[in-house]
Amino acid sequence: MKHTFDRLRLSSVHRSFANAEGAHVAALKGLDLDIERGEFIALLGPSGCGKSTALNCIAGLQPLTGGEIWLDDKRIDVLPPERRGFGMVFQNYALFPHMSVLENVGFGLKMRGTPKSEIEKRARAALQLVQLVGHESKLPGQLSGGQQQRVAIARAIVIEPPVVLMDEPLSNLDTKLRIEMRAEIRRIHGGLDRATIYVTHDQDEALSMADRIVVMKEGVVQQVASPKEVYCRPKNLHVARFMGYRNVLPCELERAAGEAVEVSASGVHFVGTPMEALESKHAVIAIRPDDLVRAEPGTHNTFEVHVDVVEYGGRDSLLLVTAPFGKLWARVEGEFAQGERVTLAISTERALVYRQEVAS
């Protein structure tokens, strides 16, 4: 397949709509993003954060209120969807139930007036890429959910689009199949040398598949970074909470210690890593349950807890504990008993310190 672009650029993209009261509400606020050919970008966030709006604006399914979208030196936000040439994979597959697999895959080419012989050749090549050779004559209803999703992907890529857009394509599949399809989508992406923009609310999907993750909240981008950076170094408290930092502890800033800070939470002393400028003595520590470990009393960043609830998880246990500073979730290797007293620790690098949230 030939290369058709080097960069997709979103410049100050804005999208607003009128609510039931007639007031204008912004679903997307000033989105700036450059996407290179071959990149896999995940738009990540909870429902209503603007990620699907962003995808629909790129596809041309929703008009922009402001800003521009460029494919290399060509402005495309002024073009209708069919002239942008993007392939799209929907959450509900959107396959034609009366058409065979081969006919479904070739439908977009047929609408473009491609010769019949070329349609069959390219449709079969796309089916080979998604590993569905032998299913060409079947109807969608004769396929499993994962197979139907592969047909939808084949239909999106057969037109040789510069960008493939995917809107929560795995949300209707069971857990085992979702995990299998993650690897399949990533494999297919790797064989295309195209950009993929993938919308999801699932952190594991984004972390396992993307080259870069765009974390969104209320139409505003919070962080654009590699999966490792988003996971280990969330830019702000919203990103930290969304990426699994369930424990957010109020604390008082005592002093800076090089690249670390010393804080106190209800008399317990911590040395943590500041993730943003701390403008007052009031701060919070964000701790992921998985980053807590069992330790000997008196060692660095330790505190004693009372085990309230134990959820056995095989090699580890999920604990709800009471610490001197309040309730805490911990996922710790080993077995524990309700009522047990244990000492937990957190490393300086994993105790992330942020500004205290201001109540709205």
| Model confidence pLDDT, tens digit, residues 173-217 | 888 888 989 999 999 999 888 999 999 999 999 999 999 999 999
Average pLDDT on 319-327 reads 96
180 φψ region: left (φ > 0), alpha (ψ -120 to 50), beta (else): alpha
**pLDDT greater than 90 at residue 21:** no
Task: Kindly indicate the confidence band of residue 4, based on its pLDDT and cuts at 50, 70 and 90.
Answer: low
According to the model, what pLDDT value does residue 18 have? Answer: 81
Q: Mean pLDDT across the chain, nearest whole number?
A: 92
Average pLDDT on 282-308 reads 93
The alpha helices in 200-297, defined as continuous H runs, are 203-209, 227-232, 237-242
**pLDDT greater than 80 at residue 3:** no
pTM of the prediction? 0.91
In the chain, what percentage of residues exceed pLDDT 90? 81
**pLDDT greater than 50 at residue 2:** no
Q: Which residue has the tokens 């604990």?
A: 319
Average pLDDT on 281-296 reads 95
According to the model, what pLDDT value does residue 357 have? Answer: 79
Highest mean pLDDT among 5-9, 175-179, 289-293, 299-303: 289-293
Task: Kindly indicate the confidence band of residue 358, based on its pLDDT and cuts at 50, 70 and 90.
Answer: low
Burial class (CB in 10 A: 0-12, 13-18, 19+), 191: exposed
Which two three-digit tokens encode residue 105?
């895959």
Greater model confidence, 206 or 17: 206
According to the model, what pLDDT value does residue 1 have? Answer: 41
CA distance 319 to 307: 7
**pLDDT greater than 80 at residue 280:** yes
**pLDDT greater than 80 at residue 240:** yes
CA distance 328 to 287: 9
CB 270 within 8 A of CB 351: yes
CA distance 201 to 193: 25
User: Closest Cα partner for 306 from 289, 284, 322?
Assistant: 322
Average pLDDT on 110-130 reads 93
Task: Kindly indicate the confidence band of residue 297, based on its pLDDT and cuts at 50, 70 and 90.
Answer: confident
* Cα-based distances in Å from 199 to 61, 196, 276: 15, 10, 27
CB 350 within 8 A of CB 288: yes
